[in-house]
Amino acid sequence: MTTYIIRRLLLLPLIILGVTLIVFSMSQLLGPLKLLSTYVDPNTYAKMSERDIQILMKQYGLTDPFPVRYGKWVKNLLKGDLGWSVVGKEPVLDALIHRFPYTIELALYALFPIIGVGIWLGVTAAVHHNSFIDQFIRIFALIGWSLPDFVWAILVLLIFYIGLGWFPPGNLSIWANQIVKSASFKNYTHLLTIDALLNGRIDIFWDALRHIIGPVIAISWLWWANLLRITRSSMLEVLRKDYVRTARSKGLPEKVVINKHARKNALIPVVTTAGQMVIGLLTGVVIVEMVFVRTGLGSFAATAAQQLDYASIMGVLLFTSLLLIIGNLIIDISYAIIDPRIRLG
Amino acid sequence: MSEEFKRTLKRFFTNPSALIGVTILIFFIIIAIFAPWIAPPKIPVNKNLEKARNLLENYSEENKYLIINELKNFWDDTYFFAEDDYIELSNLMETIAKFHNKEVSSNELKAHIKELTDYYILNITYYEKFDEETNKVIKNLKKEYNKIEKKYKESVISLNLINELEKIDGEEFVKQAIKVVSRFDKNFHEAIGFNPYIMPNVTTTRTPIPPSKEHPFGIVNQKDIFYGVIWGTRTAFEIGLVVVAISTVIGLFIGSVAAYFGGWLEEVLMRITDIFMSIPFMLAAMVLTTILGLGIKNMMIALIVFGWMVTARLIRGNILQAKNEQYVMAAKALGVSDFFIIVKHILPNTIFPVLINATMRIGSMVITAAALSFLGLGAPQGYADWGSILSYSRDWIIGGTNPTQYWFTILYPGIAMILFVIGWNLLGDALRDVFDPRMRH
Amino acid sequence: MKKFVFILLVGLLSVFAFSQVKNPDMIFDATLSEPDTLDPHHAYDTASGEVIFNVYDNLIAYDGGSMTDFIPMLSTVVPSVENGYLRDDGTTYVFPIRKGVKFHNGNDLTPEDVEYTFERGILYDPAAGPMWMLIEPIFGAFTVRDLVEEYVGASWDKIFDSKMNPTSKEYETALVNFYYDVIDPAIEVVGDEVHIHLVRPYAPFLNIICNGGGWGAIIDKEYSIQIGLWDGKAEGWWKYHGWTKEQSPLFDHAMGTGPYKLVEWDHAQQRIVLERFDGYWKGPAAIKTVVIQGIDEWSTRRAMLEKGDADIIAAPVQYLDVLKSMQGVTVIEGLPTVQITSLGFNWEIKPESPYIGSGQLDGNGIPTDFFEDENVRLGFAYAFDYEGMIDEILNGLGIHVPTALPEGFLGFDASLPKYTLDLEKAENYFRRAYRGRLWQQGFKMDVLYNIGNEERRVAAEILRDNLAKINPKFQVEVRGVQWPTYLDARENMILPVYIIGWLADFPDPHNFIFTYYHSQGDYGHYYGTKFVEFATLPRPEFGGKSLNKMIEDASLETDPYKREQMYVDIQKFVIDYALTLPLYQPLAIRVHRDWLKGYVYNPIWPGDYYYLYSK
């Protein structure tokens, strides 16, 4: 066990290095001229002369050989300098740091309904195995699993914003945004809802919440489907186990059997899925953020890709990869601690 | 074995989700196969041939020469230079032959080529590249000669056909003339190489137009949604099957090599797998597509590059288990070659979970591809693809005054997409239930 | 009694109307783009220009919406020959500097500030910046590097090492002298006046330095030196030359004399906040706060306008009907712009281009010199539906122009022949091309557009459909690529044709005619060396002058009447040879809430001038 953890930790730098190499090589497929165009305003680029191009290419070091550029890039990485973000109009690291809290907040708010409802649905389905409820939940899962997120997100926006006017797109209303940006508003955590409460602004809290609910609904279905499938099958398996049967044969009420014996054991694999879900929410809410026009890592990545802003693209990829690596490490290690029976390797 | 196989089949076909899934998929397969008939593409026609055909429909004696005239015009527009070119190139071939026999200097040959490029019979590059790559140029010239020879022969046949027509009258003429026109039509179509996947513009206004008789699903961004949905089925199959197939093969290869040989090779391969798995899939695919340049092909490459790792891990785990089974041990003891053992003994026994996984991935792969197109990072503009049609609808749905009036822009492609994915997921579910009850978790 | 009711009613209505105005002390402008840099000597895009426009003042300003009439601003006089402030045969401009003008930090405006501003801008001259506009009339070259190379007599890379230090003592001395001999004498302070000396008379000079062009904005010397701009000394000026935009301290700082102060530029929110400068010399602006925010999603912008949260939004033409049906919103259609959208031909495509198929005239591609053939160009010219594009796609918001010179410019002549959709004419030209072989073989090529620009996509598709109508063997594939890819392809000369727009730098025909038709122009440069041959060939149409020479001469002509005639002659020539296809001159739409008062439109302005507005 300890050796497992040590091994994982030792491999960590290697994997991170591998990721930087992949990310950097991808960006370098673009060639110097395209790389240059991310530094210059598009309309201005159209008006540039040959000489301007030469000067700028030199200034930005685009003509150096690959290893030199990679070395420079890694050196800058270690200093926290990921380059200039054209889309963000600020250094890439700042752009990431400014946008990440929005994504964290969305993930946090999505987490509780997804886990709560997902597990509840899964357990319900398992307990009523093969009944009407089970079938219904399975169909619900199937649709959620098959529904493209962008179609569902547009529908949510259509229904809850345009139809009912409840959950507008964006991060905050304009009036609220102005207060949040003013000097009197203290940013403790950079999570809007929590900061609003800490500042005693219930109105802003509500406003921020209103902007989060729509995306949360749009994200939830897929993850409900995911989670309830896992919970259901794991629960079904546990229910067949000897100790549950023994408990039942002892005449314990069904509720006690499920709550005390079955559910606890069934939830072990669910923990992994939930962990992966957190990582997934932090690294992959591109579509929902785009449709709901939310500031965040996902929309940042998509806009950067649309404009071929390669510094930002590399930054986001690297950042999210780090999240993924560390997140998985934590999940695996904690899983190994919870359930030492699993095969390590 | 066959008894068991029968039982499995029975189990499969009594499984309701399998039935529904297979039905949906068959439905889509039929649509994909019959797309050219369900939503016929507007293949461009030659004006002369079209006129000839119209005249033939209302045939009367006095039309005969009009028809022949149209055919001759077509011939003129297609084969006017064929004979000249053939003669000129035959001469050139002679010069080349003489050149090989050292009867003609390379400068003379070059001058001869120049003559032909001046008349646009040959491309100027033959002249420009002559000094650098003489042999290659001569080889290409021979190819050029063959092409022109073929064209010349075709022109003679065509001309004969027209001349024959002049000699006959009445019913017989109409019969033969229709044959000739279809033949020319075919030649013409071959010559232009039409791409039906590009959705044509059917209106001049940009605002979406609701469903009507000619356009049963309505029009968005000047494109007929029905056409897009039908041909998009092919695109969806293409993306789903090709990406999953190739990435599965890559994964199988890497995973089985790693598992079977073990040691440092396994270590290296699995660490590479780890590294690739450490980059979030959606973002990675998005980034690689934009960097390679937009388009279906590049998007598929990106999805493959970041889509093989699950298979590799899965097969490795399964092989590690199988490696210790008796029959493998026995084969090894008998000195059977490694490759043979993998292909013959291990893969067949470990591949089912991989196939089931692949089936289930097709649906999500199509969704990812559509999401990329939706963001404007996948299929090119105007390509028949569900994701792109849905991206057109976005601005109208969210941006219009009365968004509900544009319901059709999202409904049809959306339903097609959902059904397609549900079909694959049901099939995957059923396969899992039937073949491998252990894999329930 | 009736009167009383009436007054009551009016009163109620006005109260009602007043209560309707949201955020009466703020203007929210929802735009599409965000500034590139706020350094006035680096910014070249309209989004940056708009901010600089409101924060800084220039020496002179346009009179309202006029592009030709000027009013004094920081200079108390608009120089002209009549008033004696334009001297030495039009080569010396004299600007008496206004007194009592304060910068936002309280500093007084002095003539030294003006001198410093111009000299700093010229010495700074960053790559891809706007400073060529001033360097050209004052010194007769395009960049300060050219000037230095000419003065020192060595190439720039030889004078400086990679760290921008002079490689030798002699060079260093020469560089210092360069400032004293070349730069300093061109702009001088004489008492309360600033004198600017041009190398030769140049008609558009006042247009260039006029308010609206950031490159003519006046900055505060003391503040600038304090934050790390050029220290005003001849020694070491080169250390302040040609930074990248992020290196300039003025990148996100601003200190002008203009009606608004820059409060913040929030990159994450793409937001600029401006606040009224109470000490503005003309009197403070009516509106206290201006927020300019880049909001990429159209739907959000629309919703904000609808709810009154945004006062002004950037609106794509395609949603015109939606906008017109909105309550409380003013939509002004058909505002003239100083832009042309055109289709240019590459006469010499690089053979490795992936967009020309086989690269041969075999029906599967186009030869590399395809567009050198006049018949091909003319065939294309008559295969585009200009009127249809404007009426159906642009909702009528476009002008069908004869050449790449917008309406409203000197030399524009609506009576010149225009290309129209005429498939028969096009067929005739195509049948003539390549001795009839083109017609038989057909061709295949790609037309690219930059993704997101729907008008260009549709234009390319119209061309594609019409060519296929003429001969189904004429096959064009329309392809969308990202802007960087597009520019990369153009730079590498692999684009067969390119659809692109040009936005005027200043309102003078030279800015268009030179750009498009001179073989060294920004666009003409991309037609290939075969076009250079064409443009330098003496022409009977110009009495033996070449096209290039004719364009150069027209820019120097001082008699406006003669000059106009020369531009008309040039245009006749380029129409005959179909050098570029002017697809359309776009007309703009303007959308703001009814309660926004005082809107003035000037096509050459980079954006809104908020000082004029009230709510």
Which of B65 and C569 is assigned the larger pLDDT? Answer: C569
C26 pLDDT above the threshold of 50: yes
> Which chain A residue shows the shortest CA-CA distance from B290?
A305
List of chain C residues whose C-beta atoms are within 8 Å of the C-beta of residue A89: 34-35, 267, 270
User: Which site among B268, B274, B276, B287 would you substitute to test the A interface, given the most A Cβ atoms closer than 10 Å to its Cβ?
Assistant: B287
- Provide DSSP, C589-604: EEEEETT-B-----TT
Which of A25 and B174 is assigned the larger pLDDT? Answer: A25
Which of A220 and B400 is assigned the larger pLDDT? Answer: A220
What token pair was written down for A237? Answer: 């398996």
- The CA distance from C340 to C587, in Å, is 10
B45 pLDDT above the threshold of 50: yes
Average pLDDT, chain B: 83
B38 pLDDT above the threshold of 70: yes
User: Residue C535: which residues within 8 A CB-CB, separation 6 or more?
Assistant: C517, C518, C519, C524, C546, C547, C548
Do residue B328 and residue B257 come from a single domain?
A: yes
In 3D, which of B358, B377, B248, B243 has the Cα closest to residue B301? B243
- The CA distance from C464 to C461, in Å, is 5
Confidence of residue B402 (pLDDT cuts 50, 70, 90): low
Side chain identity at residue A304, one-letter code: A
Chain-chain contact of B276 with A301 (C-beta, under 8 angstroms) = no
The crossing angle, in degrees rounded to 10, of helices B347-374 and B225-261 is 140
Chain-chain contact of A19 with B278 (C-beta, under 8 angstroms) = yes
Q: Does A90 touch chain C (CB under 8 A)?
A: yes
pLDDT for B440 equals 40
Question: Distances in Å between the alpha carbon of C79 and those of A192, C84, C112, C561?
Answer: 55, 7, 19, 21
pLDDT for C384 equals 93
pLDDT for B436 equals 61
> Which chain A residue shows the shortest CA-CA distance from B293?
A30
Cβ-Cβ pairs closer than 8 A, A with B, add up to 138
Q: Of B159, B192, B225, which residue constitutes the final position of a domain?
A: B192
Out of B200, B293, B400, whose CB is closest to C485? B293
Average pLDDT, integer, range B100-119? 83
- The CA distance from B6 to C19, in Å, is 79
Which of C224 and C520 is assigned the larger pLDDT? Answer: C224
Output b/e per residue, A76-108; b: 16+ Cβ within 10 A. Answer: ebeeeebbbbbbbbbbbbebbebbbbbbbbbbb
User: Which site among A39, A47, A308 would you substitute to test the C interface, given the most C Cβ atoms closer than 10 Å to its Cβ?
Assistant: A47
Do residue B59 and residue B19 come from a single domain?
A: no
Chain-chain contact of C482 with A84 (C-beta, under 8 angstroms) = no
pLDDT for C70 equals 93
Average pLDDT, integer, range C155-179? 89
Q: Does C362 touch chain B (CB under 8 A)?
A: yes
Q: Does C492 touch chain A (CB under 8 A)?
A: yes
B211 pLDDT above the threshold of 90: no
Domain boundaries for CATH 1.10.3720.10 within chain A: 91-338
Identify whether B367 is part of a domain.
yes
Do residue B117 and residue B247 come from a single domain?
A: no
Average pLDDT, integer, range B72-83? 83
Do residue B218 and residue B287 come from a single domain?
A: yes
C17 pLDDT above the threshold of 50: no
Q: pLDDT digits over A37-76, tens only?
A: 777 777 777 777 778 888 888 888 888 888 888 898 889 8
Residue numbers of the domain that contains B150? 47-192
- The CA distance from A122 to A258, in Å, is 13
Q: CA angle at residue C460 from C457 to C463, to 5 degrees?
A: 150
Cβ-Cβ pairs closer than 8 A, A with C, add up to 110
pLDDT for A341 equals 57
What token pair was written down for A119? Answer: 């597990």
Shortest distance, CA A290 to any CA of chain C (angstroms):
9
Q: What is the share, in percent, of chain C residues with pLDDT greater than 90?
A: 49
pLDDT for C286 equals 93
Q: What is the share, in percent, of chain B residues with pLDDT greater than 70?
A: 97
Q: Does A38 touch chain C (CB under 8 A)?
A: yes
Question: Could you give the 3-state DSSP secondary structure of residue C290?
Answer: strand
Chain-chain contact of B382 with C478 (C-beta, under 8 angstroms) = yes
Q: Does C451 touch chain A (CB under 8 A)?
A: yes
List of chain C residues whose C-beta atoms are within 8 Å of the C-beta of residue A55: 127, 242
pLDDT for B223 equals 87
Question: Distances in Å between the alpha carbon of A221 and those of A142, B80, B364, B405?
Answer: 10, 65, 15, 26
Identify whether B202 is part of a domain.
no
Do residue B388 and residue B290 come from a single domain?
A: yes
Contacting C residues, span 304-343, partner chain B, CB-CB under 8 Å: 318-319, 321-322, 325-326
Q: Does C303 touch chain A (CB under 8 A)?
A: yes
Q: pLDDT digits over C82-111, tens only?
A: 899 998 888 999 999 999 999 999 999 999
Place of tokens 């790389």: A35
C9 pLDDT above the threshold of 70: no
List of chain A residues whose C-beta atoms are within 8 Å of the C-beta of residue C267: 88-90, 94-95, 98
Contacting A residues, span 273-332, partner chain C, CB-CB under 8 Å: 293, 295, 303, 306-308
The crossing angle, in degrees rounded to 10, of helices A149-157 and B347-374 is 40
- The CA distance from B239 to B384, in Å, is 12
Shortest distance, CA A173 to any CA of chain C (angstroms):
9
Q: pLDDT digits over A131-179, tens only?
A: 888 888 888 888 888 888 888 888 888 788 777 778 877 777 767 776 7
List of chain C residues whose C-beta atoms are within 8 Å of the C-beta of residue B119: 435
Shortest distance, CA B295 to any CA of chain C (angstroms):
9
User: Residue B108: which residues within 8 A CB-CB, separation 6 or more?
Assistant: B95, B99
First-to-last C-alpha distance (Å) of chain C: 32
Average pLDDT, integer, range B148-156? 87
Q: How many CB atoms lie within 10 A of CB B303?
A: 27
Chain-chain contact of C296 with A293 (C-beta, under 8 angstroms) = yes
Comparing C123-127, C171-175, C179-183, C479-483, the range with the smallest average pLDDT is C479-483
Out of C472, C480, C485, whose CB is closest to B44? C472
> Which chain B residue shows the shortest CA-CA distance from C470?
B47
Do residue B329 and residue B379 come from a single domain?
A: yes
- The CA distance from C159 to C174, in Å, is 10
> Which chain A residue shows the shortest CA-CA distance from C450?
A307
Q: What is the share, in percent, of chain C residues with pLDDT greater than 70?
A: 96
Bridge partners (DSSP) of residue C194 are C95, C189
First-to-last C-alpha distance (Å) of chain A: 10
Side chain identity at residue C480, one-letter code: G
Confidence of residue B302 (pLDDT cuts 50, 70, 90): very high
pLDDT for C15 equals 44
CATH number of A91-338: 1.10.3720.10
Answer whether C247's CB lies under 8 Å from C138's CB. no
Out of A19, A233, A290, whose CB is closest to B275? A19
Q: pLDDT digits over C534-591, tens only?
A: 999 999 888 889 999 999 888 888 788 898 999 999 999 999 999 999 999 999 999 9
Q: Does A181 touch chain C (CB under 8 A)?
A: yes
Q: Does C363 touch chain B (CB under 8 A)?
A: yes
A258 pLDDT above the threshold of 80: no
List of chain C residues whose C-beta atoms are within 8 Å of the C-beta of residue A41: 36, 44-45, 48
C471 pLDDT above the threshold of 80: yes
Chain-chain contact of A151 with B417 (C-beta, under 8 angstroms) = yes
- The CA distance from C265 to C525, in Å, is 37
Chain-chain contact of B275 with A18 (C-beta, under 8 angstroms) = yes
What token pair was written down for C443? Answer: 């061709």
- The CA distance from C328 to C305, in Å, is 9
Chain-chain contact of B394 with A291 (C-beta, under 8 angstroms) = yes
Identify whether B205 is part of a domain.
no
Contacting B residues, span 136-195, partner chain C, CB-CB under 8 Å: 188, 191-193, 195
Query: Dmax of chain C from CA atoms?
Result: 93
Cβ-Cβ pairs closer than 8 A, B with C, add up to 87
Q: What is the DSSP letter of B41?
A: -
Answer whether C411's CB lies under 8 Å from C561's CB. no
Out of A37, A55, A169, whose CB is closest to C488? A37
pLDDT for C106 equals 92
Q: Which chains touch A (3 or more CB pairs under 8 A)?
A: B, C
Query: Dmax of chain B from CA atoms?
Result: 88
Average pLDDT, integer, range A222-235? 83
pLDDT for C12 equals 46
C14 pLDDT above the threshold of 70: no
- The CA distance from A344 to B357, in Å, is 23
pLDDT for C27 equals 93
- The CA distance from A319 to C366, in Å, is 45
Confidence of residue C1 (pLDDT cuts 50, 70, 90): very low
Q: Is A284 exposed, middle or buried (0-12, 13-18, 19+ CB in 10 A)?
A: buried
- For residue C178, the surrounding DSSP H or E stretch is helix C169-178
In 3D, which of C446, C495, C451 has the Cα closest to residue C344? C495
Average pLDDT, chain A: 81
A89 pLDDT above the threshold of 60: yes
Contacting A residues, span 112-171, partner chain C, CB-CB under 8 Å: 168-170
The separation between CA C245 and the C-alpha centre of its own chain, rounded to angstroms, equals: 19
Which of B336 and C223 is assigned the larger pLDDT? Answer: C223
Do residue B18 and residue B137 come from a single domain?
A: no
CATH number at residue B17: 1.10.3720.10
A100 pLDDT above the threshold of 50: yes
Chain-chain contact of C244 with A59 (C-beta, under 8 angstroms) = yes
Q: How many CA atoms lie within 13 A of B324 on its CB side?
A: 5
- The CA distance from C226 to C245, in Å, is 18
In 3D, which of C332, C336, C316 has the Cα closest to residue C401? C336
Do residue B412 and residue B354 come from a single domain?
A: yes
Answer whether B352's CB lies under 8 Å from B265's CB. no
Answer whether B390's CB lies under 8 Å from B413's CB. yes
Average pLDDT, integer, range A296-315? 86
Q: Does A268 touch chain B (CB under 8 A)?
A: no
- The CA distance from C426 to B230, in Å, is 35
Out of A154, A290, A313, whose CB is closest to B287? A313
List of chain A residues whose C-beta atoms are within 8 Å of the C-beta of residue B376: 306
pLDDT for C294 equals 84
Do residue B179 and residue B106 come from a single domain?
A: yes
- For residue C28, the surrounding DSSP H or E stretch is strand C26-31
The separation between CA C9 and the C-alpha centre of its own chain, rounded to angstroms, equals: 49
The crossing angle, in degrees rounded to 10, of helices C374-381 and C454-470 is 110
- The CA distance from A73 to A84, in Å, is 12
Shortest distance, CA C496 to any CA of chain A (angstroms):
17
Average pLDDT, integer, range C360-388? 90
As for how many domains chain B has, the answer is: 2
C603 pLDDT above the threshold of 70: yes
Shortest distance, CA A170 to any CA of chain C (angstroms):
8
List of chain B residues whose C-beta atoms are within 8 Å of the C-beta of residue C322: 399-401
Answer whether C266's CB lies under 8 Å from C259's CB. no
Bridge partners (DSSP) of residue C291 are C28, C273
